[in-house]
């Protein structure tokens, strides 16, 4: 970490309120100040290089120095640096991008609404679900189900959907009408002797029981990430989405696919929905839409939802929802160039070629005494650390073992993501085999350092 005497670090402490940070600890440790980036590597202000093993926040898909994205932004800045989409206004970058996204959608979709972040996209999806049911004359059908350990953002409604306690504690969340069902993590929640498919059957049964308890005429939608990213890189068990979607269809409950992390190639397909056979009514996306070079998110809606919005807005006189920066022309121009690069360079083909190297490399750690489970698909992975492999006993949370490992990884030149005691991997999609091997080697050294630290701390493992 940056020493407090450093001017950037001290000024950061003095003026900058950080997201997802222990604010008290930050006053002492200060920030790691990143100064530049190239390819899959970022460099701090002292000149130390790090492989960015999580692509920033699961998002910088094309790495940190793609000149075509910079040039696209400059061209659009010089042509039309801003215009809005309110009151029948538009511009070509938003029109072109909406058309492109509809063509790429995993299932037939009708329209695209633009926002700036995944949180805003999911908040918008909540409002659309409510608006849709009001338009259909179903004012009671408003409850929305998400899952424990889900992550859907931090705006008021999106944070309510998020199934992580620290996103609720002392923010007076969740709001009324948001429900949570089982986390589909087979390693943690599968019962003794229960197969993955049996686990999926049980979870679908529990979802149906929840809908019946609440009353099907009150339940409007189910939100799900194809792979649960910030909850720990949790993959759905075999047959899970097939069985979940059967329940949703039975009770006329909309499916919202949160593709904020999985969208645009992360799982080896354009969409995680394609990887897992999801057929959403609404799809939200962000992050890799612009390779995170500029803020942009997109909400894709089915024609049924769009037509309901048309009817309701005609009755009211307007569709009273939108953001100043919805479809910002510079962000849209960068997104269009990002999508062109994905296609021209066959980035999804590259992900499929590199995925076996990452997944095999991570799974090589399964026999390590600290590793309980390794999971992943495409270029996303998680390694869960445990105190006892046989019983799956976790470490005392007060030890913050995952965070400690990540601090060691910084020393070895790798930035990883601690999710409790699971370590997240989500490198830029452009990573090559040699860089994967370097990332894995640096993780291995960090894992060894963590084991040594636990011994010094007198923590019993196994």
Tens of pLDDT, residues 413-439: 999 999 999 999 999 999 999 999 999
Helical spans, DSSP H, in 261-387? 272-276, 303-316, 329-344, 347-363
- d(Cα 122, Cα 284) in Å, to the nearest integer? 6
- d(Cα 228, Cα 150) in Å, to the nearest integer? 6
- d(Cα 359, Cα 382) in Å, to the nearest integer? 10
CB atoms within 10 A of CB 171: 12
Distance separating the N- and C-terminal Cα atoms of the chain = 31
Specify the pLDDT at position 372: 98
In the sheet with 414-415, reading across from the earlier edge strand, the strands are 34-38, 41-44, 49-52, 414-415
Location of structure tokens 């839409």: 289
Question: Which 8-state DSSP code applies to residue 162?
Answer: -
- d(Cα 333, Cα 327) in Å, to the nearest integer? 10
* pLDDT at residue 249 is higher than 80: yes
Specify the pLDDT at position 5: 53
Confirm if 39 and 67 have CB atoms less than 8 A apart.
Answer: no
Specify the pLDDT at position 97: 98
* pLDDT at residue 460 is higher than 90: no
Q: What is the mean pLDDT of residues 285-294?
A: 98
**In sequence order, what E strands does 194-313 have?**
219-224, 254-258, 282-285, 297-301
The distance of Cα 87 from the centroid of its chain, to the nearest Å, equals 32
187 burial class (0-12, 13-18, 19+ CB within 10 angstroms)?
Answer: middle
Question: Which 8-state DSSP code applies to residue 57?
Answer: H
- d(Cα 283, Cα 299) in Å, to the nearest integer? 6
Tens of pLDDT, residues 12-22: 999 999 999 99
**In sequence order, what E strands does 354-429 have?**
371-377, 380-385, 414-415, 417-419, 422-425
- d(Cα 462, Cα 447) in Å, to the nearest integer? 16
Confirm if 131 and 316 have CB atoms less than 8 A apart.
Answer: no
- d(Cα 20, Cα 45) in Å, to the nearest integer? 22
- d(Cα 390, Cα 218) in Å, to the nearest integer? 43
Q: What is the mean pLDDT of residues 406-410?
A: 98
SS3 41: strand
Tokens of 141: 């059908």
Specify the pLDDT at position 7: 77
Give the dihedral of Cα atoms 286, 290, 294, 299; nearest 10 deg: -30
Tokens of 448: 């060894």
Tens of pLDDT, residues 307-349: 999 999 999 999 999 999 999 999 999 999 999 999 999 999 9
* pLDDT at residue 3 is higher than 70: no
Cα 208 to Cα 75, 141, 151, 333: the distances in Å are 52, 16, 22, 43
Whole-prediction pTM value? 0.96
Specify the pLDDT at position 413: 98
The chain-wide mean pLDDT, for the chain, equals 97
Tens of pLDDT, residues 144-174: 999 999 999 999 999 999 999 999 999 999 9
* pLDDT at residue 279 is higher than 70: yes
Integer-rounded Cα Rg, in Å, for the chain is 22
- d(Cα 425, Cα 427) in Å, to the nearest integer? 6
Specify the pLDDT at position 2: 45
Confirm if 9 and 31 have CB atoms less than 8 A apart.
Answer: yes
State what percent of residues in the chain have pLDDT above 90: 98
Name which of 228, 135, 154 is nearest 422 in CA terms: 228
Question: Which 8-state DSSP code applies to residue 372?
Answer: E
Q: What is the mean pLDDT of residues 18-40?
A: 95
Tens of pLDDT, residues 81-114: 999 999 999 999 999 999 999 999 999 999 999 9
* pLDDT at residue 6 is higher than 70: no
Q: What is the mean pLDDT of residues 30-49?
A: 97
Tens of pLDDT, residues 183-240: 999 999 999 999 999 999 999 999 999 999 999 999 999 999 999 999 999 999 999 9
- d(Cα 205, Cα 33) in Å, to the nearest integer? 48
Location of structure tokens 């600290």: 370
Specify the pLDDT at position 313: 96
Query: Would you place residue 359 in the very low, low, confident or very high pLDDT band (cuts 50, 70, 90)?
Result: very high
* pLDDT at residue 1 is higher than 90: no
Q: All domains of the chain, ordered by start, with CATH?
A: 32-65+346-456 (3.90.1150.10), 68-344 (3.40.640.10)
């Amino acid at each position: 970490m940056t020493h407090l005497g450093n001017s950037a670090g001290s000024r950061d402490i003095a003026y900058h309120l950080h997201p997802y940070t222990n604010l008290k600890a930050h006053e002492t440790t200060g920030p790691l100040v990143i100064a530049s980036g190239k390819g899959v590597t970022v460099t701090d202000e002292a000149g130390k290089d790090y492989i960015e093993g999580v692509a920033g926040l699961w998002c910088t898909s094309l790495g940190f120095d793609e000149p075509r994205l910079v040039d696209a932004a400059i061209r659009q800045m010089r042509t039309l640096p801003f215009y809005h989409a309110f009151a029948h206004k538009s511009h070509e970058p938003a029109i072109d991008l909406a058309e492109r996204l509809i063509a790429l959608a995993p299932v037939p979709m009708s329209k695209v609404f633009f926002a700036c972040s995944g949180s805003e996209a999911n908040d918008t999806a909540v409002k659309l679900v409510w608006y849709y049911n009001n338009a259909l004359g179903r004012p009671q059908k408003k409850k929305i189900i998400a899952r424990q350990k889900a992550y859907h953002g931090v705006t008021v409604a999106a944070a309510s959907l998020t199934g992580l306690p620290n996103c609720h504690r002392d923010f007076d969340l969740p709001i009324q009408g948001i429900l949570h069902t089982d986390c589909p993590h087979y390693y943690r929640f599968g019962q003794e002797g229960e197969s993955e498919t049996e686990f999926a059957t049980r979870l679908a049964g529990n979802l149906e029981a929840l809908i019946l308890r609440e009353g099907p005429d009150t339940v409007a939608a189910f939100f799900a990430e194809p792979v649960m990213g910030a909850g720990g890189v949790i993959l759905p068990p075999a047959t899970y989405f097939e069985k979940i979607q059967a329940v949703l269809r039975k009770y006329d409950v909309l499916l919202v696919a949160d593709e904020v992390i999985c969208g645009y190639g992360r799982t080896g397909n354009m969409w995680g929905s394609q990887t897992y056979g999801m057929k959403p009514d609404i799809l939200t996306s962000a992050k890799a839409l612009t390779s995170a070079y500029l803020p942009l998110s997109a909400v894709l809606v089915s024609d049924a939802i769009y037509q309901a919005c048309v009817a309701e807005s005609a009755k009211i006189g307007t569709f009273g929802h939108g953001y100043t920066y919805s479809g910002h022309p510079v962000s849209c121009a960068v997104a269009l160039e990002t999508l062109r690069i994905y296609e021209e360079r066959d980035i999804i083909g590259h992900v499929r070629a590199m995925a076996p190297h990452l997944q095999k490399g991570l799974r090589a750690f399964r026999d390590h005494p600290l590793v309980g489970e390794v999971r992943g698909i495409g270029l996303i992975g998680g390694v869960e650390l445990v105190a006892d492999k046989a019983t799956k006993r976790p470490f005392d949370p007060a030890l913050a073992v995952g965070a400690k490992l990540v601090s060691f990884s910084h020393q070895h030149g790798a930035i990883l993501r601690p999710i409790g005691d699971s370590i997240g991997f989500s490198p830029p999609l452009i990573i090559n085999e040699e860089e994967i091997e370097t990332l894995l080697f640096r993780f291995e050294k960090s894992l060894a350092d963590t084991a040594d630290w636990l011994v010094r701390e007198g923590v019993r493992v196994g």
